[in-house]
Amino acid sequence: MPILEVEHICKSFERTEVLRDISFSLEKGQVVSIIGSSGSGKTTLLRCLNFLERPDKGVLRVNGEVLFDAGDAFTMQELEIRRKRLHFGLVFQSFNLFPQYTAMENVMLAKELLAKEQPDYKAKKKEIHEEIAGQAETLLDQMGLSDRKNNYPHQLSGGQCQRVAIARALALQPDILCFDEPTSALDPELTGEVLRVIRELADQNTTMIIVTHEMAFARDVANQVIFMDDGIILEQGDPRQVFEHPKEERTRQFLSRFTQG
């Protein structure tokens, strides 16, 4: 059974149709990269998955559980949405780290707030805190930020900030980690370090959806590529096939702009 099933998602803003009948599925441990020109709906799709936007139509299932069904108001209750969001993690283009917290605190904050809601929190406060801190430390080590744990975001480079943001998203152990153009706000020489950690995550079989303009990366890291154009999935499939033998003329046009450099 796929870990994620997206069925017939539609979303309009005012009168502009941004997503028109989007369907795809994703197996556990797989990586899908979504490519396409700006305005094709890639970001909106990720935002729908993370409940930052509410689709007008469609169904969203994770591990077979219906998280969202536009036809069923019960699936849209605020309290429920909070819990459902935790199936997904989202790494933003502009990092959105919390500036008043250190790298460690950024990674720990959400988990600590969740732990506080546990009934036995008061009794085991110290252990819980230590466990969360230990886990955050491991994550930051994994991101290559062992010596940056106590720095504030403004003291870090863009690439370091984005790696903290990835650690922060991983701290909640989401089933599916989403990336919204994770390197688009970075200086070219800093994209490599971010792509490297994402690649490592892929090697560890982290289920990921990656929206990116880094075509070589999209091809190499993914098990599946989706090409979006004007709110629809125009083409999807094996990366090699989509990149080397695109079926659609529009895909070929889009890709040629990148290969011509």
Partner 1 sequence: MELILEQMPIVIRALNVGFIQTLKLFFVTLIGAFPLGLVIAFGSMSRFKPLSFITKILVWIIRGTPLMIQLLIIYYFPGLVLHTPIWGGGEGGRFLAASVSFILNYACYFSEIYRGGIQGVPVGQEEAGLVLGMTRSQIFFKITLLQMIKRIVPPISNEIITLVKDTSLARIIALQEIIWAGQAFMKGSQGISGAIWPLFFTAVYYLIWNGILTMLLGRLEKKLDYFR
DSSP assignments along 135-166, one per residue: HHHHHHHHTT-GGGTT--GGGS-HHHHHHHHH
CB of 187 to partner 1, least distance (A): 19
User: How many angstroms separate the CA atoms of 73 and 99, rounded?
Assistant: 36
**Interaction residues for partner 1, span 214-243 (CB under 8 A):** none
Total residues in contact with partner 1, by rule CB under 8 A: 27
Instruction: Work out which of 42, 61, 163, 168 binds partner 1, going by CB under 8 A.
Output: 168
Site of tokens 């991983």 = 170
Is 50 a binder of partner 1 (CB under 8 A)?
Answer: yes
Provide the minimum distance between the beta carbon of 13 and partner 1 in the complex, in angstroms, as a whole number. 15
- Closest CB to partner 1 among 10 and 110? 110
Q: Considering beta carbons, is residue 89 or 239 the nearer one to partner 1?
A: 89
What is the x/- site pattern for partner 1, positions 19-38, by CB under 8 A?
--------------------
In 27-152, where do the E strands start and end? 31-35, 57-62, 65-69, 88-91
Q: Is 82 in the site for partner 1 (CB under 8 A)?
A: yes
Residue 78 structure tokens: 């605020």
Pick the closest to residue 209 from 87, 57, 33 (CA basis): 33
Question: How many CB atoms lie under 10 A from the CB of residue 206?
Answer: 19
Residues that bind partner 1 (CB under 8 A): 50-52, 82-83, 85-86, 88-90, 92, 94, 96-100, 109-110, 113-114, 152-154, 168-169, 172
